[in-house]
Amino acid sequence: MLNQVIDWARRNELAVPPGFKVKPVRWALVFDAEGGFLLVRELGNVSAKRNRGAHLLCPNLELGEMKRGGSGTRHFLVDNAEVVALVGTEEDDEKVRAKHDHFVALLGQAAEVVPMLGPVADTLSDVTTLVKIRAELEDKGAGPTENVTFEVRGASPDLIVEGDAWHGWYRAFRAGLQPERPVQRMLCLVSGELTEPVATHPKIRGLTDVGGLSMGDVLPAFKQESFRSYGLEQAANSAMSEEVAAGYAAALNRLIREQSQRLAGTRILYWYREPLDDEGEDAFAWLTEPPETTVGSALERARELLIAIRDGKRPDLKENRYYALTLSANSGRVVLRDWMEGSFEELVQNVEGWFDDLRVVSRDGSGYTTPPKLWAVLGALVRELKEVPESLEARMWRVAVRGEPIPFQAAARALARIRVAMATDQPVRTAGIGLLKAFLRRLPGDMLMTPKLNEEHPHPAYHCGRLMAVLDYLQYRALGEVGAGVVQRYYAAASSTPGLVLGRLLRMAQFHLGKLEAHERRTFEYRIGQVLGQLQDGFPPPLSLEEQSLFALGYYHQKAYRPPKDEPEQTEPETSEETA
């Protein structure tokens, strides 16, 4: 897994030398050759609505190094506007001013190898000029946490951080911040090369919404004795070179920030070996944001891509591969919940199968439901999305991506929510109905599950659900709105033990039939007879989980059924289709 993460880092130029990090830098303070302040220049895409600045390779100290440097220790050459120019700082904030003084002092020390930094340090030490710099940064909208660096007119390159004249000095300075420990060479677990392992692993940031700490979390951690082996200390228990550790951390941080999706209690990171030319071909994105039906549903897009790949029209996609990580965090540690990889063609095929299995007729019978987002499917299993167990959430993501069977736990939860909706006379979530259909389709054997009504389905549990729907509508036509009708009172029992309930409801139906006009009575008698014709062996014994799912599908399909033109049209009160 880490090999693929580091490979992505290298492809995106994130694999950086130890002590460096690619950072977004939005502002440059521009000076002349004598150190005179000229102006503030914005870096990056200045026309963007949310310009993050230019991504530059910057010197970077880890938290442990900064602690060993003492109070006020800061990064060199690039830091936030609060430290560089005291933006947003109170006059009496001594801690921030100490950081500013340390930052300026480092510029002065580095002047021995980059002479132009001396005048810049002197200018930043001048109170009057610093006030002017701070005012101009604030006028341009610079926030205290946005990174700032320096540009000197006439220098090559203009941005000092893009040169390398200071690299040797910086490495020597950083070496003085390393802990004193005996040289220990071990095999790097990722590269397999003999190396001096990094003392502590770098922080992974951006997981605060899934249990992480604001200061970041570590992938391998060995603080407690129980996590150590063979007398090894700290990161020596998971030996990696500093370059490898920095590479995987940079990649994960970038993926979390720019290419991840939060799914209830976890965060999904994914990427492709080769970048996609068209964002509309991102099959992972379809699972969380299906394409609009006006453009083409996710199911249709998947089929189009599969045809193009198999016809040889898209060899670039046929050779491509996908990778996906599921992460959360706990007590300062990154929790790896799942790892997947495979061919792009396999991914699209599985996503196509996911949406095809979820597809059901809409409630009004006029067409099919639109492809649901993955969290709409998860939401159909619980009262609130936050109640989805993280283990189930990760499993359902894997089901969608890998084409695996729907877990019984998910089907049981969907059935429970359907029963609650029936008892409280609420619309059933179509995503939950679709999940039950997918559950049945992915079981061994052919369950003959179609998106809409199948009057010839071989299993009696399906027709028991159909009969329940017919009797429910019969009561409505005979009595109108009655509050707690047969569904609210009997659905839960009928869906598990139809033999104990449906016979009684059929006897009640005779009373309801007597209240109808002759033509409508014959219509209902025909429909009841047609369903009972599929139950010639009588009502089945208590139903299993699979059979209860069939019951729910039969009920839903029959409710959504619209008879052909030669059969009298029967209209029910309209119910709005869910939008989740």
Structure tokens that stand for 520 in this block: 């409508």
Distance CA 189, CA 174 (A): 25
**Residues 58, 77 contacting (CB under 8 angstroms):** yes
For tokens 């950083």, the residue is 174
Query: What are phi and psi for residue 378, nearest 5 degrees?
Result: -65, -35
Sign of CA dihedral 566, 570, 574, 576: negative
Give domain limits for the chain.
2-175, 186-258, 262-416, 459-560
pLDDT in the model for residue 475: 93
For tokens 């996710």, the residue is 298
| Beta strands 186-187; 147-152: pairing state | unpaired
pLDDT in the model for residue 578: 43
Is pLDDT above 50 for 573? no
Give the rounded distance of the alpha carbon of 464 from its chain centre.
Answer: 39
DSSP 225: G
> CA separation (Å) from 372 to 68, 292, 377, 402, 549?
52, 11, 7, 18, 19
Tell me the three state secondary structure of residue 27: strand
Reduced to 3 DSSP states, what percent helix, strand and coil does the chain have, rounded to the nearest 5? 45, 15, 40
Residue 226, number of CB atoms within 10 A of its CB: 7
| Residue 419: CA count within 13 A, CB half-sphere | 16
Distance CA 57, CA 29 (A): 17
pLDDT tens-place string over residues 421-475: 999 999 999 999 999 999 999 999 877 899 999 999 999 999 999 999 999 999 9
More confident residue, 221 or 157: 157
Is pLDDT above 50 for 570? no
pLDDT tens-place string over residues 268-289: 999 999 988 887 889 898 888 7
DSSP 291: P
DSSP 550: H
Helix 94-110 vs helix 117-125: crossing angle, to nearest 10: 160
For tokens 């810049």, the residue is 120
Q: What's the pTM? A: 0.74
Distance CA 505, CA 470 (A): 11
Residue 179, number of CB atoms within 10 A of its CB: 10
Which residues lie below 8 Å from residue 128, measured CB to CB, with a gap of 6+? none
* pLDDT bracket for residue 291 (50, 70, 90): low
Q: What percent of the chain has pLDDT over 90?
A: 62
**Residues 411, 549 contacting (CB under 8 angstroms):** yes
The answer to which of 96-105, 197-206, 348-357, 374-383 has the lowest mean pLDDT is 197-206
Please name the amino acid found at residue 360.
Answer: V
Residue 113, number of CB atoms within 10 A of its CB: 14
**Residues 298, 350 contacting (CB under 8 angstroms):** no
Angle at 349 between CA 348 and CA 352, to 5 degrees: 85
| Residue 460: CA count within 13 A, CB half-sphere | 18
Which residues lie below 8 Å from residue 416, measured CB to CB, with a gap of 6+? none
Q: Report the length, in residues, of the chain.
A: 580
Distance CA 311, CA 557 (A): 37
pLDDT tens-place string over residues 85-135: 999 988 778 999 999 999 999 999 999 999 999 999 999 999 999 999 999
Which residues lie below 8 Å from residue 238, measured CB to CB, with a gap of 6+? 189, 201, 220, 222
Is pLDDT above 80 for 194? yes
pLDDT in the model for residue 571: 46
Strand partners, 151: 30, 159
Distance CA 418, CA 430 (A): 10
Q: Taking the chain, what is the end-to-end CA distance rounded to the nearest angstrom?
A: 34
Residue 10, number of CB atoms within 10 A of its CB: 11
Strand partners, 194: 187
**Residues 362, 430 contacting (CB under 8 angstroms):** yes
Structure tokens that stand for 80 in this block: 């936030």
